[in-house]
Amino acid sequence: MKNTYKIRKPRREFYFLFALIFCSLFYFSCSNTDDFNPGFRQAEISSFEKLEVEMSAKERLRLNFARKMAVAVSENPEIRLFLKTEALKMINNDYDVFYPVVKDRIVEGAQLKSNDGASSKSNSGASTFRNLLLQYFDDESELFEIEQQLPLLTIFIPQLPENSFSAESWDPNDPEQNPVVAVRLSSSSDVPMIDNFHNQEYVVESDLIPAYPVIVIKDNERIELSDESNTSIEKRELACFSEISESPTYNYIDDNFDPCYTDPWAGGGGSGGGSGGGSGSCDPNFIPISGRDITVNQFLKDAYNVFDGSITTPWHRDNIYYQLTPTQTTNAFTGSRFVEALTYFELQGNDPQNVFSIISDQSGVGNNDPLDANHDWDHDQRNRTPWTDGFFEFEVSIEDNAVNRSIKNTTEHFSAAPEELFEYEQETVTRTRGAWPVTWKRTYWRPIITGFKGMSFINGDSNNQKLNIHNWDLLKYSNVWTFTFAEFDTSEEIEITSTSSVTFNTNVEANVNFPGDAVKFGLKYGASIEREESQGISTKVKLISDEIGEKDVHFYDRVLNKNSCDNKLYPKLYETSYIKFELRPVQVEF
């Protein structure tokens, strides 16, 4: 159940009455003309605007925690240093301070207060983070409820534009860097802010990014509660952080978020970097991405060359997984050295700003922003900026229809900083906060998205993230895999069971005369075509995710395309309205 919660404005009645009388006599002195931004109503700049934010019960708990945190960080430089230190550990490859991990750690130098409000010297240097926070709650049951209801509670230190604030640059001993505390919501795209230093709470519009110190209270999107009842899920324990050994335990959603994960498939993938040849006035019938030609391994080139000119529409994977050639048309499966991998990802679209808005929206489809009535501009122009949650998290669901499991899809995850996906510019916006005669100015950044960038996942690119799936054994997997991409958020995951038609090759079977697991008789489909099976199988989906593309990939698809303009081989590129990506085999055993 969601309730409408009104952000309180301390001492508003007194200041409103006083300012109203004063401004009626001295209109121009109160107009704040220097701070007025064309395109914004004056009421949106005024500190007297009534802002209402719709919140769920759990979000109100998060707000309560944020209020206590705002006072605690304001009064304790030791807590500020503690948060900075923990954030720099990057427990999940982002600047998240995961509360369940750190709550019982000692905050060096911090002192509990005695009953008269003075610091207790006897407790100096021996206070846990939780005990220090507990001083700001009226009763321990408040904090206990927060801990029970918010098991993924996280304090995030954002990297704000133009080097205005980050975990690295934060000076905990500088009073000017006392942070405002923000609350990340899923029910609203705007951001409540608690400014303890100025004793004020306000809401920042969703398309603005603060240019002053801010920390964010949110749920973690890279760590999840383990589901002990689901034995089909691979458990990824937080090995680096043994404090999470008690029940409930936690897992990383993906190995790419685990800073201690060691890739058992290290190696392979070819060389990266450099630039490819341009096409000039020549038309290669596809748009090659500059530099991707030099990431192509020799075994991929061999698979291309062995069929080149010999067979119309060759199946390159016939050679890679079964070592078939125009003259060797039957062989066992020999492809256990290889796995299919996503090696490149890029967003695309006619309007980069709109694509940014699509993947940044956290409110869910059909959940109208309750603050829209307070603004003049269109809803489509109001973006949920990612500054409150760090990097984007993407999920790739691969529907491979495996015959040896009941779930027809597997998932891979990767993270991306906004600057890895977008080219953008910044404009500044000034807001006047407070109420006359006590006012102050705050500066914000508004990003203007101008274009796209691509991410490579090969040879250590993109922070060594790898999106390796599994091999393509036609005895185990269908001929067609469906890839669904989404920018995912913390939400409930459900399992949907349905009946669908799945296609398999008919010329693949187990055979004792060959040493491999499966034998393929004949190139392509052999003497017969695919068989179809009707299967009742399940798919796992998240209830709140921004889907950005779906594409079928066939076993028979070319792995490489030759650019007739420079005679170089480029990985095949798959495209939808919003994304483009590469899928190709990579070698993981040598």
**How confident is the model at residue 52, as a pLDDT?**
59
Cα pseudo-dihedral 333, 338, 339, 345, rounded to 10: -140
| Residue 13: pLDDT over 80 | no
Note whether 388 and 216 are within 8 A (CB): yes
Note whether 247 and 231 are within 8 A (CB): no
Average pLDDT over residues 125-137: 89
Average pLDDT over residues 458-468: 91
- pLDDT tens digits for range 17-55: 444 444 444 433 333 333 323 222 222 323 323 345 678
b/e per residue 522-545 (b: at least 16 CB within 10 A): ebbeeeeeeeeeeeebebbbbebb
Note whether 336 and 471 are within 8 A (CB): yes
Question: How far is 72 from 81, CA to CA, in rounded Å?
Answer: 12
- Phi, psi (degrees; rounded to nearest 5) at 367: -95, 95
The partner residues of 55 in beta bridges, in order of sequence, read 3
Highest mean pLDDT (candidates 132-136, 253-257, 360-364): 132-136
Comparing 500 with 211, which gets the higher pLDDT?
Answer: 211
Contacts of 336 (CB under 8 A, 6+ apart): 471, 589
Question: How far is 510 from 156, CA to CA, in rounded Å?
Answer: 52
Starting at the edge strand found earlier in the chain, the sheet holding 545-554 runs: 409-416, 392-399, 480-488, 545-554
Question: How far is 572 from 304, CA to CA, in rounded Å?
Answer: 12
**How confident is the model at residue 14, as a pLDDT?**
42
Comparing 245 with 490, which gets the higher pLDDT?
Answer: 490
**How confident is the model at residue 545, as a pLDDT?**
62
**How confident is the model at residue 409, as a pLDDT?**
84
**How confident is the model at residue 114, as a pLDDT?**
67
pLDDT band at 182 (very low <50, low <70, confident <90, very high): very high
**How confident is the model at residue 267, as a pLDDT?**
45
Cα pseudo-dihedral 18, 22, 24, 29, rounded to 10: -130
Lowest pLDDT segment from 241-245, 256-260, 373-377 = 373-377
**Ramachandran quadrant class, 323 (left: phi over 0; alpha: psi -120 to 50; beta: rest):** left
Contacts of 435 (CB under 8 A, 6+ apart): 9, 11, 12, 15, 16, 19, 47, 48
Check whether the bond before 264 is cis (ω within 30° of 0): no
Degrees (nearest 5) of the Cα angle 129, 131, 132? 65
Note whether 284 and 565 are within 8 A (CB): yes
State the pTM of this model: 0.72
- pLDDT tens digits for range 577-589: 999 999 999 999 8
pLDDT band at 82 (very low <50, low <70, confident <90, very high): very high
Question: How far is 3 from 225, CA to CA, in rounded Å?
Answer: 26
Question: How far is 121 from 111, CA to CA, in rounded Å?
Answer: 7
Lowest pLDDT segment from 50-64, 162-176, 487-501 = 487-501
Average pLDDT over residues 343-364: 84
Highest mean pLDDT (candidates 219-233, 326-340, 396-410): 326-340
DSSP secondary structure, 333-393, as one string? --GGGEEEEEEEEEE--S-HHHHHHHHH--S-TT---TTGGG-SS-GGG----GGGT-SEE
b/e per residue 171-207 (b: at least 16 CB within 10 A): ebeeeeebbbbbbbbbbbbbbbbbbbeeebbbbbbbb
| Residue 307: pLDDT over 50 | yes
| Residue 468: pLDDT over 90 | yes
Average pLDDT over residues 277-293: 75
**How confident is the model at residue 296, as a pLDDT?**
96
Highest mean pLDDT (candidates 290-299, 483-492, 500-509, 544-553): 290-299
Note whether 349 and 340 are within 8 A (CB): no
| Residue 314: pLDDT over 80 | yes
**How confident is the model at residue 154, as a pLDDT?**
97
pLDDT band at 148 (very low <50, low <70, confident <90, very high): very high
**How confident is the model at residue 571, as a pLDDT?**
97
**How confident is the model at residue 526, as a pLDDT?**
61
Average pLDDT over residues 359-386: 42
DSSP-derived letter for residue 187 is: S
Average pLDDT across the chain, whole number: 77
- pLDDT tens digits for range 91-119: 899 999 999 989 999 999 888 876 655 55
Inter-axis angle of helices 57-75 and 140-149, nearest 10: 120
Average pLDDT over residues 174-194: 90
pLDDT band at 435 (very low <50, low <70, confident <90, very high): confident
Average pLDDT over residues 246-269: 68
| Residue 10: pLDDT over 60 | no
Note whether 64 and 56 are within 8 A (CB): no
Share of the chain above pLDDT 70, in %: 68
Note whether 586 and 344 are within 8 A (CB): no
Average pLDDT over residues 67-79: 96
Note whether 503 and 408 are within 8 A (CB): no
Gyration radius of the chain's alpha carbons:
28
| Residue 199: pLDDT over 80 | yes
**Which stretches of 458-555 are DSSP H helices?**
461-464
Lowest pLDDT segment from 11-25, 425-439, 493-507 = 11-25
Comparing 532 with 360, which gets the higher pLDDT?
Answer: 360
Degrees (nearest 5) of the Cα angle 478, 484, 487? 155
Comparing 574 with 386, which gets the higher pLDDT?
Answer: 574
Lowest pLDDT segment from 364-368, 443-447, 511-515, 548-552 = 364-368
pLDDT band at 122 (very low <50, low <70, confident <90, very high): very low
**How confident is the model at residue 186, as a pLDDT?**
82
**How confident is the model at residue 376, as a pLDDT?**
31
**How confident is the model at residue 17, as a pLDDT?**
43
